[in-house]
Amino acid sequence: MTRRTFLLTPLLLRAAGRKPNLVLVMARGWRGVATPWARDPDLKAPFLDQFAEMAFVFPRAYAAYPRFSPARAAIASGRYPHATGATREGAVLAKNEPTLAAALKENGYHAAELTNLVDTLVDTLPREQPYFLSILLDPRLSGASFDPGSLHLRENVPADAESAARDALAQRYAAYRQMDQQFGKVLAAIDASNTIVVFTSDAGEQIGSHGLDEDDTFYEESARVPLAIRIPGIKASPSDLFVSHVDLMPTLGALCGADPVEGVQGRDLSSLMTGGRGDRPESVLVEGRIGQRDEWRMLVIGVDKIVTDAAGDPTHLFNLAADPYEKRNLAAEKSAELKRDQLLAMMRAERSRLLDFRRR
């Protein structure tokens, strides 16, 4: 494929009257550190592995808010939960909140949602095109089919948490395999020549890392998510772009020809993806536990990562290149004072841009 074809493929589809279909797949609880492109030795996900060979993969993709309901709201709206108010589990967007589905409907798309009904996908695909289909993969497993003793624990799992972490990991890897099989059925059911496919998750999970479980924490196991986007006719490669959940709404909307939506906080990365044009994101912001005593914000820029409390005071500082498992907190170290102050200034500037002010 020539560079000209690479750049024009989405445009040619639209010019020929073939707006691309869009399928967004969210695999609930899938960790960004457990992907084929992260070279996870225990992962069994052949369909995702094959999909990634023809997709843009983003190893540095993060949840806007690593919790199921806030994450879904951020993906749908292109805005952070602090702006939409969808900050708690079970929260939903206000009816007047602009969404990706609404923007695509205005552009002639038919929108539908599907949860764990992939076996009947062929019968439930929208019959009219173009369509936007949002699919949630949320398996419920009764037992594990992985040997806990054979799994590779992350280096930040405390010794006293190893046994429980192995059992939990066995369950999760079984869930990943089940979701991958469901993803394979999705890929088999759609028209690959005219469908943009996105694979991501709401958040990761700690699963024993740092002695913690579940999600809604700033560590990489929870905050980083898998993200791969396949565009018809384009063979892509891994990208080092910083990407947030909030970037999906404007990016996918642009790829489908929808008009920009006013008030969106995410960045449209479509030109960078298809032509290498545009400003590259230099950082990514993540937020969590809003309205709770341990509310936090996190900013990653380059290989540096800073975490603050709701008041903006630093609590954690990591260098992800030298310390990928975040075992050494540099926030109080004298030698890191200059770096900490630089990152704090960047954090304040980003929060100001996003109108994210302290709640009292």
98 with 221, same domain: the answer is: yes
The 10s digit of each residue's pLDDT in 208-226 is 999 998 888 999 999 999 9
214 with 302, same domain: the answer is: no
Asked if residue 132 belongs to a domain, the reply is yes
Asked if residue 215 belongs to a domain, the reply is yes
Distance in angstroms (rounded) separating the CA atoms of residues 104 and 106: 5
> Do 185 and 118 contact (CB within 8 A), yes or no?
yes
pLDDT at 118 over 60: yes
Asked if residue 286 belongs to a domain, the reply is no
Please count the structural domains in the chain: 2
51 with 179, same domain: the answer is: yes
Asked if residue 196 belongs to a domain, the reply is yes
237 with 306, same domain: the answer is: no
DSSP code string of 103-147: HHHHTT-EEEEEES-GGGHHHHS-SSSSEEEEEEE----SS--S-
302 with 277, same domain: the answer is: no
Domain boundary among 218, 252, 281: 281
CATH of the domain at 243: 3.40.720.10
220 with 253, same domain: the answer is: yes
The 10s digit of each residue's pLDDT in 14-37 is 545 579 999 999 999 999 999 999
307 with 203, same domain: the answer is: no
Buried b (16+ CB within 10 A) or exposed e, 205-229: bbbbbbebbebbbbbbbbbbbbbbb
240 with 174, same domain: the answer is: yes
CATH of the domain at 325: 3.30.1120.10
Domain boundary among 230, 254, 281: 281
pLDDT at residue 239 in the model: 84
7 with 75, same domain: the answer is: yes
What whole-number percentage of the chain has pLDDT above 70?
91
**Sign for the pseudo-dihedral over CA of 340, 342, 345, 350:** negative
Q: 164: which DSSP letter?
A: H
193 with 325, same domain: the answer is: no
pLDDT at residue 216 in the model: 87
Q: Using pLDDT thresholds of 50, 70 and 90, give the confidence band for residue 141.
A: low
| Domain residue limits at 299 | 291-353
What whole-number percentage of the chain has pLDDT above 90?
78
The 10s digit of each residue's pLDDT in 312-359 is 999 999 999 999 999 999 999 999 999 999 999 999 999 999 999 754
The 10s digit of each residue's pLDDT in 54-83 is 999 999 999 999 999 999 999 999 999 999
190 with 90, same domain: the answer is: yes
pLDDT at residue 233 in the model: 83
Average pLDDT value for residue range 257-269: 94
Domain boundary among 228, 261, 281: 281
